[in-house]
Structures are given as structure tokens and as C-alpha cells.
Structure 1
Amino acid sequence: MASVRTSIQGLVVAGLLAGLGQAAMAQSPAAPPPPPAERMAKHDPAKMQAHMLKRQAELKAKLKITAAQEAAWTTFTASMQPPAHGPRPDRAEFDKLSTPERIDKMRALRAERDAEMDKRGDATKAFYAVLSPEQQKVFDANAMPHRGADGHRGADGRGGPEDRSHKG
């Protein structure tokens, strides 16, 4: 009988401690997300454009684009410009839609993004076709940021350690 009482007391104590732990966690809220302005600063269009132009200039220098390839280069880089997006969809308008209408709207937006990606892919293939085999190797090694198995780039723009072992 004493062991049953001890077991019950142990369960009661464990339950009380768990309850106290939950109460303590509830009193210390998680850090709030950064304000929208701070999040948007990371995506400053001017900074992003400057970074893209710098990367393009570096790639062009590495590829050693010839005069005969200049038109293809210009077409390729023009296709890589970010699309001119209109204003973000109005959240209040989106909230007024029924669920099936929201799904249709999201599908339409996805179709627009897919079409833009297809256009860029076709332009990249067309440009790649005018490169010499040596230039194609340079393009393969430098045109797209390498990502690791987790999908994230490393500090040097490449993926995980396996990508850093063979600098291109």
C-alpha cells in the first residue's frame, strides 16, 4: 500500500511541476517578429539591383564575352531582370474572397510566376547555346548560387561543405 501511495504522490508532484513549467513558459512570451519596415530593409530593391548588376558584371568578365556574343548576353541579362510586380494583393480584398476563389487567385499568381520562370529558363538555354564549351563550364560553375543539401547557401554563396571543396 505504501508503494501505491508513493507512486500517486510522485505522479501528483510530477503533474504540479509540469503545470508550473507551463505557467512559467506562458509568462515569458517569445520575442516578437521584427517590424515590417525592418524586414523589408533586407529586401531593398535598390540594394538587390546593385548586387545583381555586380554579379552580372563579374560573370561577364569570367565568361570573357566576345563581340559576337554581346547581343546574346544583353538578351540574357534583360531576361534576368526582376519582373515589374504591381502592388501586393490587398489583404482585405483577399479576405473577402471565398475559399475556392482564394485557391483560384493563388493558382493564377503561381501560373504567372511559373511563366516568368519558364521565360528565364528559355533565355538561359538560348544564351548557353552561344557559349563555347569552355565558357559553358565557367557558366555552370558561376551562374547560379550553389545550395547545400538543406537548400541554403553558405557564407561564400555556395552550399554546404561539400560544395566548398570544389571551388569553380
Structure 2
Amino acid sequence: MTRTHPILLATLLAAASTWSLAQTAPAPATGPAATAQATQSDGTRAQRWAERRAQRQEQLKAALKLSPAQEGAWSTYTAAMQPPAQRPARMDRAEMAQLTTPQRIERMQAVQAERQQLMNQRLDAVKSFYAQLTPEQQKVYDQQSLRRGDGYGHGPRMHGERGMHR
């Protein structure tokens, strides 16, 4: 059995890491054509998400077997669960680089507060709708939301190995 010399091993590791750093990705496309393409792909992605969300809502509604008296609560619930029309603006790296560390942290806290407010609104909508359901419907809702993760489509299945449930 031969022992690998530590210097040789370190040299090989350094060479491998240097080689991997030398492999650069092509620069992202810029200009009006690239902007149009990015906007189109984002629009298509948003449309697909909207279609999937509508499909999940219809499946949930069918599984719940809502009574006519519960239709108003359903409408209020689905309206409240829609994503915001405009998400908080993201700062690019250049803007972030111009801020001091305390300013960057304050900016992150402001974005977090906006997200927390949205989460609280959704929690209120779920609680209000859930209270209108019969115990049998609540069990169905619990099962449906458990399968999706957190009740509106961002569950562990979408986060792979990084999900909460492994």
C-alpha cells in the first residue's frame, strides 16, 4: 500500500481547482433583444404558474365539495391567496455595493417585513376560510395543503434536498 505524498496531493487539488475556475460561462446577452427575450420567458413562466395555481385551486375546490353557502368564503379565500401584483423591488449588486452594511441590513429587513405582511394576510385568509369548513372538509384541506407543503404551492417537493422534509 502506497502513501500519497501530501505536497503532491495539494498540487493536484490546486491544479484541478484552477482548471475549474478557468472554465467561464459565456457573458449574458445584453441589449433590447435580450431584454425582450427575458421578458417573454418571464411572462410565459408567470402564465404557466397562474395556470397551475388555478388548476390546484379547482382541484381543491372539487375535493372540498363546497356548499353554495361556502362559495362566498371560497371567493374571498382565492382572491387573498393570489400573488401580489408587484413584488418588492430587488436591488442589483451595484446598488447594494453603494450602501453601507447597516443600510444593506435595513434594506433586507424592509423586504422581510413586506414578505411577513403578505404571509400574515395569507394566514388570516386561511383561518377565515378554514373556519367556514365542516370538520370533514377541514381534514381534506389539511391533507391537500400538506401535500403541497405550506398551503399554496411552495412545499418541500419544490425545494428538493433543501426542503424541510427529507
TM-score normalized by structure 2? 0.71
Contact 1:59–1:143, Cα closer than 8 Å, also in 2 = no
Moved over 3 A (4+): 28-33
> 1:14 Cα deviation (Å)?
3.5
Q: Which residue matches 1:71?
A: 72
C-alpha distance in 1 between matches for 2:59 and 2:132: 19
Q: Which residue matches 2:108?
A: 106
One-letter amino acid of the counterpart of residue 12, structure 2:
L
1:135 to 2:157 alignment:
no
> 1:81 Cα deviation (Å)?
0.3
Which consecutive unaligned segments of at least 5 residues does structure 1 have? 1-9, 161-168
Q: Which residue matches 1:24?
A: 16
Greater RCO, 1 or 2 (C-alpha within 8 Å, sep 6+): 2
1:96 to 2:88 alignment:
no
Deviation per residue, 1:108-161 (Å, 9 max, x gap): 1100100000000011000000000110010000034148xxx73289xxx65x
TM-score normalized by structure 1? 0.70
> 1:100 Cα deviation (Å)?
1.1
Count, aligned residues? 141
Q: Which residue matches 1:126?
A: 128
Q: What RMSD in Å do the two structures reach over aligned CA positions?
A: 3.2
Deviation per residue, 1:59-94 (Å, 9 max, x gap): 000001111000000000001100122573231333
C-alpha distance in 2 between matches for 1:47 and 1:84: 16
Give aligned-pair identity as a percent. Answer: 44
* Distance verdict in 2 for CA 1:94–1:17, change over 3 Å: closer
> 1:20 Cα deviation (Å)?
2.7
C-alpha distance in 2 between matches for 1:65 and 1:111: 34
Contact 2:88–2:111, Cα closer than 8 Å, also in 1 = no
C-alpha distance in 1 between matches for 2:114 and 2:88: 15
Q: Which residue matches 1:116?
A: 118
C-alpha distance in 1 between matches for 2:24 and 2:55: 36
One-letter amino acid of the counterpart of residue 130, structure 2:
Y
Deviation per residue, 1:8-49 (Å, 9 max, x gap): xx78x431243134213421347859x695xx76x9111111
Which consecutive unaligned segments of at least 5 residues does structure 2 have? 30-37
Contact 1:76–1:124, Cα closer than 8 Å, also in 2 = yes
Q: Which residue matches 2:6?
A: 14
